[in-house]
């Protein structure tokens, strides 16, 4: 290879690495996130606004309580790693209703596959556990998170 093309290659590679680090370093969550996953063809409920910053900073909940990448059953995600949207992995909307007499998927299987199960387990699950423990927490009933549409 000529010297000139080697130089071009080096420049291109450096640029790519630089752009990647900018994209990753710049990843930041909005203080408040309107939860609006594309897995739902249509939202039947009022969209929920999630107070991301308040949960993390105000309520002191660590990132990896909510963000994860599982490897061999362990959460290996660390602060600073790229964050994917929940529906990147919990890809389907909601588990279909199970017919009478048929065996449906387990709770664990549902959470792994369906966004509906994963998100409710995360949000509602934590609030319910804290409520049981008598601690201050967020809403646990449908209408407190999804008020009636007007």
The site for ligand HEC (CB under 6 A) is made up of 27-29, 33, 35-37, 40, 43-45, 48, 50-52, 54-56, 59, 61, 63, 65-70, 73, 79, 83-90, 108, 111-112, 116, 118-124, 126-127, 130, 136-142, 145-146
Chain-centroid distance of CA 128 in Å reads 19
Query: Which of residues 5 and 141 has its CB atom nearest to ligand HEC in the complex?
Result: 141
Closer Cβ to ligand HEC, 105 or 139, answer by number: 139
Q: Nearest to residue 62, comparing CAs of 126, 144, 140?
A: 126
Closest distance to ligand HEC from the beta carbon of 150 (Å): 15
Distance, CA of 103 to chain centre: 28
Task: Please give the Cα distance from 65 to 109 (Å, whole number).
Answer: 19
Least distance (Å) between residue 98 CB and ligand HEC: 17
Q: Which residue is nearest to ligand HEC (CB)?
A: 138
Q: Are 112 and 90 in contact (CB under 8 A)?
A: yes
CB of 92 to ligand HEC, least distance (A): 12
> What span, in angstroms and rounded, lies between the C-alpha atoms of 66 and 85?
11
User: Are the C-beta atoms of residues 63 and 56 closer than 8 Å to each other?
Assistant: yes
Q: 118: which 2 tokens?
A: 């994963």
Minimum distance from CB of 131 to ligand HEC (Å)?
Answer: 10
């Amino acid at each position: 290879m000529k010297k000139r093309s080697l130089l071009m290659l080096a420049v291109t590679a450096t640029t790519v690495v630089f752009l990647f680090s900018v994209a990753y370093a710049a990843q930041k969550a909005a203080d408040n996130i309107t939860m609006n996953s594309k897995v739902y063809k249509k939202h039947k409920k009022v969209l929920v606004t999630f107070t991301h910053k308040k949960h993390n900073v105000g309520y002191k909940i660590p990132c990896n309580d909510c963000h994860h990448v599982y490897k061999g059953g362990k959460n290996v995600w660390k602060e600073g790693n790229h964050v994917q949207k929940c529906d990147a992995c919990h890809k389907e909307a909601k588990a279909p209703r199970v017919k009478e007499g048929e065996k449906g998927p387990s709770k664990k299987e549902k959470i792994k596959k369906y966004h509906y199960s994963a998100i409710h387990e995360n949000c509602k699950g934590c609030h319910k556990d804290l409520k049981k423990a008598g601690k201050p927490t967020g809403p646990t009933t449908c209408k407190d998170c999804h008020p009636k549409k007007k």
